Chain A
Amino acid sequence: MSLLTVTDLQVSYGGIEALKGISFTVEKGHIVTLIGANGAGKSTTLRAISGLVPIKAGGITFDGREITSLMTSSIVKEGIVMVPEGRRVFPNLTVLENLRIGAYLRHDPAEINATIEYVYERFPRLKERHWQLAGTLSGGEQQMLAVGRALMARPRLIMMDEPSLGLAPLVVKDIFQIIQRLREEGITILLIEQNANAALHAADYGYVLETGRITMEDTGSALLNNQKIRDAYLGQARKRRTETV
């Protein structure tokens, strides 16, 4: 059974239909990606699953449990955590305080300390800088912190909103390595990206979102090789045209 099942999800903001009924599933242990242009509804999808925006119609089940009408805090407790777009670490809190906020809904001090050690093991840089204010970290370090903060809630599903946004290409490579490693540890990942190339390379399965509708779905590699996708999202259309000239 799928870990996350979204059925006919509809979301409207002030009269504008951001999502016009999308359905997709995320299998346990997979990396699933939603790709699409600006305004296609990718971020709205994640925000709706997190309970941050009201849902007009449709259903969301997580591990067999209905979570459509739950509050964000309950959804985080169920094991779904979002890494928001633009990292959004707490700039005036230290790295350690940021991590502790990630464990806000947990009440087991000893276990929380163990999770902090677990995060430090994966991101030694965060341990080195644990007393530094998060606002003074580099972009890549902030992204590591945002992922580490999400891990503090011991999630079963991490949803990442544009993790490569505004980062240097080398750092983007690091971030995707981190995503792969999280999957190897059994964490399921729902990834949304404008960097469709990197996302599809990493993903087991992908969905293409266009103005609030899912228009295509397939395995990551199949979508990578799909001519329409290449033309629309992988920026190779122009290249091909110049080649033929």
Chain B
Amino acid sequence: MLLSAFCKIAQAKRLSVYVLLISTLFVGVYILENTVGANSMLMMVLKKGAIYALVAVAMNLLNGFTGLFSLGQSGFMLIGANIYAIFTIETGNRAQVYQYYGGGIIQFTLPTLVSIILGGLVAAFFAFLIGLPVLRLKSDYLAIATLGFAEIIRAIFQYDGLGPITNGSNLLRKFVVFETALFPFAVAGACILLIALMIHSTYGRAFKAIRDDEIAAEAMGINLFRHKQMSFVISSFFAGIGGALLAMYQTTVQAKAFTAAMTYEILLIVVIGGMGSISGSILASFLFVAASEWWLRFLDNVTVIGTFKVPLMRSGFRMVVFSVIIMAVVLFYRQGIMGDKELSLHRLGARFTRKKGGADHG
């Protein structure tokens, strides 16, 4: 009894520390935005990093925690992004945006948050439908089927016949975007929190059991198909929300941008961060976005020091170096940066005070 009371106090204390950390983070982002400017490279990276963090954590729920190797992420993001954009373009601007389709057939707007959630719901609905056949497939076959689905979705959204709704292969623009980086941080943060709670619930434990051993999980009475379906639908819901945020970040949306390459970027983040680590995915997405869009940017410019022209540096060289870095990371961190561990205050504290045993007695 005494022990459990003590645990409760420790838990409450830990919770307050986390609340403090999160509020510090938000205040930090706010101050940063007002000092370095909302359109500085740093802020752009932070915003995109937060959005990618959400999408990566959603993918990790499916690939890392449930063990389902799906490559449909960009398809679900596309659905979220497009649905969001379609429903938030102001009626006055529709004639201009849908100029080839006579202003489109949708002549109303929904509130921003409602549209974001709607984007997630539509993505989740599609996940439910395609899950019925494809979740009976295993490993490589599931990957191929979901990859194919993403391509089909991209084709459908570019289809001319649906133009009055989707604007075909033309840009969707003039929809509501966020003014401050606090918005993607708040939405992505809340979603990641929900996913984390899910993973720590009995459902999350069942997902991990399925990942570890399907036969044993089934023998324990876990309904394999229902849990896979649940994980797939939830993951796609949050991918859709991530897509909506990405649309806001980009200020324009075009279906053809959501290629398999985008899925691979996110898969890369999940693998580098660690399959089965939420904090790993978050950490890796900020590092990935910063490295690919900012820190290595200088490699793309022809550089002349005095009269010496630095060799190799030209447009495209950035991606070469980036690929080498990724190979090095994967070689030295086989399990990704975090493995399947989580970054926790407890663990960090143990490291700093040089105490052994970071086991979480929860």
Q: Which residues of A contact B (CB under 8 A)?
A: 50, 52, 71-73, 75-77, 81-82, 84, 88-93, 97, 100-102, 104-105, 131, 149, 153
Q: Give the interface segment out of B73-81, B155-163, B202-210, B262-270.
A: B202-210
Tell me, rounded to whole Å, the shortest Cβ–Cβ distance linking B74 to chain A.
28
Query: Given the complex, which residues of A lie within 8 Å of B211, measured CB to CB?
Result: 92
Contacts of A131 in B (CB 8 A): 359-361
In the complex, the answer to whether A101 meets B223 with C-beta atoms within 8 Å is: no
User: Are B209 and A101 touching (Cβ within 8 A)?
Assistant: yes
A75, A92, A101: which contacts B206 (Cβ < 8 A)? A101
| Nearest B residue to A131, CB-CB | B359
Given known contacts A92-B276, A93-B205, A105 and B221 CB-to-CB distance under 8 angstroms: yes
CA distance A102 to B209 in the complex (A): 10
Is A84 a contact partner of B215 (Cβ separation < 8 A)? yes
Neighbouring B residues of A76 by C-beta, 8 Å: 220-221
Which residues of chain B from 201 to 241 have any CB-CB distance to chain A below 8 Å in the complex?
202, 205-206, 208-209, 211-213, 215-223
The reply to whether A52 and B218 form a contact with Cβ atoms under 8 Å apart is yes
CB–CB A101/B218 < 8 A: no
- A153/B361 in contact, CB under 8 A: no
* A104 with B219: CB separation less than 8 A: no
Are A93 and B212 within 8 A (Cβ)? yes
For the complex, what is the distance from the CA of A88 to the CA of B215, rounded to whole Å? 8
A89 to B209 Cα, complex, angstroms: 9
Verify B222–A104 contact, CB threshold 8 A.
yes
Are the CB atoms of A73 and B212 closer together than 8 Å? no
In Å, the complex CA distance between A50 and B222 comes to: 12
A78 CB to closest chain B CB (Å) equals 10
Determine whether the beta carbon of A90 is less than 8 Å from that of B218.
no
In order of increasing CB-CB distance, the 7 nearest A-B pairs are A76-B221, A88-B216, A90-B212, A73-B221, A131-B359, A105-B221, A101-B209
**B220–A153 CB distance below 8 A:** yes
What residues of chain A lie closer than 8 Å to B220, measured between beta carbons? 76, 81, 101-102, 104, 149, 153
Tell me whether B215 and A101 are in contact (CB under 8 A). Answer: no
Contact A92 B360 (CB under 8 A): no
Provide the bound-state CA to CA distance between A72 and B215, in Å: 11
Does residue B340 face the partner (Cβ distance < 8 Å to A)?
yes
Chain B residues with a Cβ under 8 A of chain A: 202, 205-206, 208-209, 211-213, 215-223, 276, 340, 359-361
Complex CA gap A71/B220 in Å reads 12
Quote the shortest CB–CB distance from B205 to chain A (angstroms). Answer: 6
Among A73, A89, A97, contact of B216 (Cβ-Cβ < 8 Å): A89
Can you list 20 residue pairs at the A/B interface with Cβ under 8 Å? A72-B221, A73-B223, A75-B221, A76-B220, A77-B221, A81-B219, A82-B219, A89-B213, A90-B208, A90-B217, A92-B211, A93-B205, A93-B208, A100-B202, A101-B222, A104-B202, A104-B220, A131-B359, A153-B220, A153-B221
For B204, give the chain A residue with the smallest CB separation: A97
Expressed in whole angstroms, the Cα–Cα distance for A82 and B360 within the complex equals: 30
Q: What is the minimal beta-carbon distance from B199 to any residue of chain A, in angstroms?
A: 12
Contact B340 A101 (CB under 8 A): no
For A82, the chain B residues whose CB sits under 8 A away are 219
The interface residues of chain B lying within 8 Å CB-to-CB of A88 are: 213, 215-216, 219
Chain A residue nearest to B226 (CB atoms) is A73
Could you say which residues of chain A place their CB within 8 Å of the CB of B221?
72-73, 75-77, 104-105, 153
Q: How far is the CB of A99 from chain B (nearest CB, A)?
A: 11
- Give A173 Cβ to nearest chain B Cβ, in Å: 25
Q: Which residue of B lies closest to A161 (CB)?
A: B219
Q: Chain A residue with minimal CB distance to B208?
A: A93
Q: Is the pair B209, A93 in contact by a Cβ cutoff of 8 Å?
A: yes
Q: A73-B223, A101-B220 are in contact. Are A92 and B202 (CB under 8 A)?
A: no
Shortest CB–CB separation between residue B336 and chain A, in angstroms? Answer: 14
Name the B residues within 8 Å of A89 (CB-CB): 213, 216
New A-B pairs, 14, CB < 8 Å, besides A77-B221, A89-B213, A90-B208: A50-B219, A73-B223, A76-B221, A84-B219, A88-B213, A88-B215, A88-B219, A92-B211, A92-B276, A93-B205, A93-B209, A93-B212, A104-B220, A104-B221
Q: A149 to B220: give the CA distance in the assembly, Å.
A: 9
* Docked-complex contact B205 and A92, CB < 8 angstroms: no
Least CB distance from A150 to B in Å reads 8
**From A76, which residue of chain B is reached at the shortest CB distance?**
B221
Please give, as numbers and ranges, the residues of chain B lying within 8 Å of A101 by CB-CB distance: 205-206, 209, 217, 220, 222
Please tell me if the beta carbons of B361 and A90 are within 8 angstroms of each other in the complex: no
Query: Given the complex of chains A and B, what is the CA–CA distance between A76 and B276 in angstroms?
Result: 29
- Smallest Cβ distance from B46 to chain A, in angstroms? 32
- Chain B residues near A52: list those with CB within 8 A: 215, 218-219
**Contact between chains at B222 and A92 (CB < 8 Å):** no
- Expressed in whole angstroms, the minimum distance between the Cβ of B215 and any Cβ of chain A is 6
Structural contact, B205 and A97, CB atoms closer than 8 A: yes
CA distance A101 to B212 in the complex (A): 12
A80 to B59, CA, bound (A): 36
Q: Give which listed residue, B202, B213, B340, B359, contacts A90 with CB less than 8 A.
A: B213
- Chain A residues lying within 8 Å of B215, measured Cβ to Cβ, are 52, 84, 88
